[in-house]
Amino acid sequence: MKIIIIIMSLLSFLLSDRGDLISYEFKGSKLASDVQLELESSDAGQLNPNAIYNIDLYSIIYETIDQFGEVAQASGSISVPSVDDSAFPIYLFGHGTEIRRAGAPSMSGFNVLNMWVSTSGYIYIEPDYLGLGISQGLHPYHLKDVTASTMIDMIYASKSLCNNLNNIQFNNQLFIAGYSEGGYAAMATVKEIEENYSNELNITMSFPMAGAYDLSGTMADLMLSEEEYEDPFYLPFFILSYIEKYDLGPIDSFFKEQYAVNLLEWFSGEHSGGYINDFLPNIPIHMLKDDLVAQFQNNPNFEFRLRLEENNLLNWVPTSTMYLFHGLVDERVPVENTNIAYASFNGAENENIYVEILPENYGGHQEAAPYCLIQAFNISEGVKIIHNKGDLNNDQICNISDIVLLLNKILGANFDGDLDVWISDINNDNLNNIFDIILLVEKILSSS
């Protein structure tokens, strides 16, 4: 039996494609009343929304493409409203920098964010990213193409999970958000969808928040300054990722010996950022070799600089609605990242782009995060659509108008896509016929 399972798993992997769902695991459920109590006792406090839906949590493993263009498996977390007669938007979220493989979303349970969003009526999906969760190897930190692929393939795999479970339905809305590394991931994902997937995915709205969009400028200048930095591990995390992706040379050609010999062990996925920070100088540039720093500063064709430029998220024009949020006094990812991105998008003349810089009293990188997330959520709520079974004109009421629409659709076989078919399939038998009309009439009469 074990041999059969292994063979079937291998065949599933070999025959799978990008975004294919490999496996999933149910992680638990929560009643809306329990979610409400947990949110009220959390740091969100009085800012939390009213919990509306009971929710279920799943982890998934899906197929994607790694930084070398090879097939890879990634994992992620999905939290969904536990309702079988409504269709919800997808809310894709990119999390911030994580070092420990076990600290990834799929390895954890419920948290404030996944409870908050899903109980409010969204299918909340959060990739672990490659190199985290079940994925081995070094995390491809701030590499735009692989980051976007991991996010996009999570969308497809999540839709497959919904279809497999039969009682979860997504609609055509897609919200994309993220903070810190997740802000970079959100923007990279929007760029990739608009350039290559616009015929398959329609972005409702996006919220890149506090991301490092200007890697070769703002972030490089910060890391190469003589200033103390609260999380010096960011610098080797960047460099190791780029060395591996672009074959930039041996580690000891970048780092002084006392750091070079331990970096691979420190970034093995077993340690936290705080643990690694204890071994690093508070001024990140002091861990680099002097000749390396000189080349970066003086040679405009230095390959590492050029590779950072390749992964900037500047000088393109978003066509979907985008809100950029950043704290004015962000000490880890300076606000200049957002200001430069906004300017490069011609934001002042671009009616799709909005920017909000939180004032100094909102605090630094960590302190400003909740306010950015709440702002993004509240804006999403203003345009969110939930489709209910039988409500064909989506006016939030089932009445004679819906019966007439359903009759016309059935007689003319005139359904506008899979969502329309689902809304019209009142008895969930995967057919649209007279029995659905009868049940819709009974539903309307029973509610009157």
| CATH classification at residue 403 | 1.10.1330.10
Cα–Cα distance measured from residue 418 to residue 424, given in angstroms and rounded to the nearest whole number: 10
User: Do 317 and 305 have their domain in common?
Assistant: no
Q: Is residue 244 in some structural domain?
A: yes
DSSP secondary structure letters along 250-303: -GGGTB-HHHHTTHHHHTSSSS-HHHHHTTS-SSGGGGB-HHHHHHHHH-TT-H
Cα–Cα distance measured from residue 281 to residue 265, given in angstroms and rounded to the nearest whole number: 17
- Pick from 281, 310, 339: which residue ends a domain? 310
pLDDT tens track for 341-388: 999 998 888 999 999 999 999 999 999 999 999 999 999 999 999 999
- Look at residue 45 in the predicted model and tell me its pLDDT: 56
Q: Which amino acid is at 261?
A: V
Q: Is residue 58 in some structural domain?
A: yes
| CATH classification at residue 237 | 1.10.260.160
User: Do 298 and 158 have their domain in common?
Assistant: no
Q: Is residue 221 in some structural domain?
A: no
User: Do 173 and 304 have their domain in common?
Assistant: no
User: Do 166 and 202 have their domain in common?
Assistant: yes
Q: What is the pTM of this model?
A: 0.93
DSSP single-letter state for residue 215: I
Three-state SS for 129? coil
Q: Is residue 220 in some structural domain?
A: no
Residues 6+ apart with CB under 8 A from 66: 72, 130, 137, 140, 146
- Look at residue 12 in the predicted model and tell me its pLDDT: 47
User: Do 306 and 319 have their domain in common?
Assistant: no
User: Do 104 and 207 have their domain in common?
Assistant: yes
Q: Is residue 345 in some structural domain?
A: yes
Q: Looking at the chain, how many residues does it have? A: 448
Q: What are the beta bridge partners of residue 29? A: 56
User: Do 365 and 240 have their domain in common?
Assistant: no
User: Do 295 and 240 have their domain in common?
Assistant: yes
Q: Is residue 219 in some structural domain?
A: no
| CATH classification at residue 68 | 3.40.50.1820
The band of 415, judged by pLDDT with boundaries at 50, 70 and 90, is confident
- Pick from 256, 286, 310: which residue ends a domain? 310
Q: Is residue 222 in some structural domain?
A: no
User: Do 178 and 255 have their domain in common?
Assistant: no
Q: What are the beta bridge partners of residue 288? A: 255
Answer whether 219's CB lies under 8 Å from 292's CB: no
- Pick from 310, 341, 361: which residue ends a domain? 310
- Look at residue 209 in the predicted model and tell me its pLDDT: 98
Domain that holds residue 247: 227-310
pLDDT tens track for 226-245: 999 999 999 999 999 999 99
What total number of domains does the chain contain?
3
Closest-CA residue to 206 (of 171, 173, 175): 175
Q: Is residue 138 in some structural domain?
A: yes
User: Do 328 and 438 have their domain in common?
Assistant: no
User: Do 150 and 27 have their domain in common?
Assistant: yes
User: Do 294 and 439 have their domain in common?
Assistant: no
pLDDT surpasses 50 at 278: yes
Q: Which amino acid is at 161?
A: L
